[in-house]
């Protein structure tokens, strides 16, 4: 099973930026932890971070036929980007949107996520552990999708 992990703008600054909100862990450390639990479950992760909206759209499009699901923290673009929402809808893969902070108890402009409407589920407010929760949830979703597909395939034969 292959999963893409896509990180939006300023997440490369984790561990430095607003530690009282996002905590002390760097993005690399978060990815190392994810890699460890993915390996235990025979899952391959492909990590990508960009500060540029178009690059994130390109990366999402590349996921088609390459991975079985996406974990994404679109960061500030969650609140503004119809382009990222449309790209997620276009590839039609299971998607978990992760936010380190609880966006629903922050400024009003953060309380709406445009991209969440193209996501299967959203995890928000559990700190970096949210990525782990995202990984577990996505693995489960992909397993269920595959089971349904296999059942349908065997009915057709």
In Å, what is the CA distance from 143 to each residue of 5, 30, 151?
18, 24, 12
**Cβ nearer to ligand DQA, comparing 107 with 153:** 107
Task: Output phi, psi for 17, to 5 deg.
Answer: -80, 135
How far apart (Å, rounded) are the C-alpha atoms in residues 113 and 22? Answer: 18
Binding string, residues 81-100; x marks residues near ligand DQA by CB under 6 A: ------------------xx
- Does residue 75 touch ligand DQA according to CB under 6 A? yes
Residue 5 as a binder of ligand DQA (CB under 6 A): the answer is no
**Residue with smaller CB distance to ligand DQA, 3 or 11:** 11
User: How many residues are there in the chain?
Assistant: 157
Nearest to 14 by CA among 30, 3, 25: 25
State the nearest-atom distance from the C-beta of 139 to ligand DQA, in Å.
Answer: 21
Residues that bind ligand DQA (CB under 6 A): 10, 73, 75-76, 78, 99-101, 103, 110
């Amino acid at each position: 099973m292959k999963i893409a992990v896509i990180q939006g703008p300023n997440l490369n600054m984790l561990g430095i930026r607003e530690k009282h909100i996002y905590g002390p862990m760097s993005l690399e450390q978060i990815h190392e932890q994810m890699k460890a639990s993915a390996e235990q479950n025979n899952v391959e992760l492909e990590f990508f971070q960009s500060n540029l909206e178009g690059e994130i759209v390109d990366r999402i499009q590349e996921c088609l036929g390459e991975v079985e699901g996406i974990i994404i923290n679109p960061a500030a673009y969650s609140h503004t980007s119809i382009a990222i929402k449309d790209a997620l809808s276009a590839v039609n893969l299971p998607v978990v949107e992760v936010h380190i902070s609880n966006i629903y108890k922050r400024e009003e402009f953060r309380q709406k996520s445009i991209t969440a409407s193209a996501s299967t589920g959203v995890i928000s407010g559990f700190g970096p552990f949210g990525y782990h929760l995202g990984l577990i949830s996505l693995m489960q979703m992909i397993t269920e999708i595959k089971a349904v597909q296999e059942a349908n395939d065997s009915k057709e034969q």
